[in-house]
Chains A and B, each alone.
Chain A
Amino acid sequence: MSGTIFDISKSGRSAKAQMPKGVNEKHNIPKNYLRKDKPLLPEVSELQVVRHYTNLSRKNFSIDTQFYPLGSCTMKYNPRGVHRLAFLEGFLNHHPLSLDENSQGFMACAYELQEILKVVTGMRGVSLTPMAGAQGEFAGVAMIRAYHELRGDTLRDEIIVPDAAHGTNPATAAQCGYKVIEIPTGPDGNVDIEALRKIAGPKTAGIMLTNPSTLGVFDQNIQEIAKTIHSVGGLLYYDGANLNAILGKVRPGDMGFDVMHINLHKTFATPHGGGGPGGGPVAVSERLVPFLPTPIVGKTETGFRWLTKEQCPQSIGRLSAFMGNAGIILRAYMYARLLGQEGMIRIAEYATLNANYLLTKLRKAGFTPAYPKRLASHEFIITLKNEARDLHINALDVAKRLLDYGFHAPTMYFPLLVPECLLIEPTETESKEVLDAFADTMIKILEEAKTNPELLKNAPHHLPVRRLDEVKAARELDLVYNPQLPSDV
């Protein structure tokens, strides 16, 4: 088994083909500005590096190798062609501070993506710069704040967030200086509209919603919610995490939302990369257009131009040194072009078909849906509270056993209000055969839970490591390799 890269390091070894040539020791740097020690970096050959990291990669589950039904994360196929074309020399070696006239290729793609996102969201303005969903949320709430402040409406200090929301929603509202007011969810998975009417008022700056919600159901009262919030002078934020459920069918702008972000790494199939880069463009209704973060690509008679604070003086400002995750913007643009008009409308349909099909199969096999009376959106929740009570098997055990069968586990224990839950999102790019195999495996695991629960309790059995001790990791922090304490090899 492999140790760390540091365990195979040997002083004096290097990847010689990569070394700069003709360098001597001359420099104009005063001695007391110089580094005296050798930093702890591995000294290894090129083959050693390639082999070490190739072998590490094989310890990962990924979309390319496994079904990955991680709810709320939209783990759909990431087209290879798109990744390859983003590496074209003209894009790759393009300095972000190049003259506009030398940047027309990238700017054309970015401009067109802005336009495509306006069409699919029903919004009036788009800025592509936020580098992840959470940064898009930050931009959105900062715009809500700027909008109220410009109108002198400064007493609004509350943002309403459902109890089922992603943690980023309340965290973002707090980062922007707002008090977070939680609203409960009704038994049907919709926002409790009576509670909302009581909470909404002159202190309400806005509400942050995901629709379909994190519970995997579409809130039918959305127009009523929008009316309630708008009538007290608040604005509506749409968390685009679940946009894949309605892409090409329903537009947040038509539901009454004023501002939203789009997760390019979910809905627009850009690679998740082991936890990023993401992409979190924001789209807004007419009244928030002046506040969009910069830079934005504008179009003139002589070509595309960057719009920055000079052209957008009311902007909430800049969120990245340059143009956000430009290469991700490029990939999302290419994906949108591969879908086109015809493909875009199919996304929501087939994502929803797959979710409802898998939900039906699991329900028929005896699993308990969290909202049995509702249709699934692009994802759905199974609760294992009965199994936990009767068989002493919890969601974690089932998740870990799924890994043994070569399936990535669904999202566990989120949303927090459904006990022992698994949030399952198959996405539109998975075939019926894969869904059938997953359902069969879930049935098999349920059987194991009855006959041999230790198989679940001690899972996984067939992965590079067994269940890991997170308590030890947190109590005895070991965050960097210490050469004095060799790892096990």
Chain B
Amino acid sequence: MTNIPKKLFYSATHEWVRKDEDVLTIGITDHAQTMLGDLVYVELPEPETGFETGQECAVIESVKAAADIYCPISGEIVEVNEELLQNPQVINQDPYGKGWLFRLRPFENDFTNKLLNADQYTKQVASEAH
């Protein structure tokens, strides 16, 4: 069964969000990386760029599919995971750890009500599988 850690927040488009002090760390879920298969390429946003909620900000590719990453919360990029540019498979191996995509400073503080919690996301994944 797919791994959905309780302590994280999720978007309907399969990104996860973790709050560390005043920045958020963002990646894709275990479910998303399984659906995409072996990843071969990652395109990350440039630091200091701002994104609106739901705006496309990164791209990840497997050999058969390409997926846009939508910014789950509006904010400014403060750091990207450069290691992925060389080793995109890290996302497959450790989606919630070493496979994080980028960190951003949110424009607003209260964002959790805009995201799903682990239970809600688990239900969504189950419903997608019919």
- Chain A residues near B (Cβ < 8 Å): 413, 470-471, 473-475
Contacts and interface: CB of A to CB of B under 8 A. Distances in A.
Closest 10 CB pairs of A and B: A474-B40, A471-B38, A470-B63, A475-B40, A474-B63, A471-B63, A471-B40, A474-B41, A475-B88, A475-B89
A339 B1 CA distance: 58
A349 B88 CA distance: 50
Interface of B: 38, 40-41, 61-64, 88-89
10 contacts: A413-B64, A471-B40, A471-B63, A473-B63, A474-B40, A474-B41, A474-B61, A475-B40, A475-B88, A475-B89
A107 to B, nearest CB: 44
Contacts of A471: 38, 40, 62-63
A474 B63 CA distance: 7
Contacts of A474: 40-41, 61, 63
B36 to A, nearest CB: 12
A470 B88 CA distance: 15
A481 to B, nearest CB: 21
A471 B40 CA distance: 7
Contacts of A473: 63
B130 to A, nearest CB: 10
B15 to A, nearest CB: 22
Nearest to A476: B40
B74 to A, nearest CB: 23
Nearest to A471: B38
Contacts of A470: 63
B81 to A, nearest CB: 17
A199 B44 CA distance: 34
Contacts of B64: 413
Contacts of B40: 471, 474-475
Contacts of A475: 40, 88-89
A475 B62 CA distance: 10
A9 B23 CA distance: 58
Nearest to B38: A471
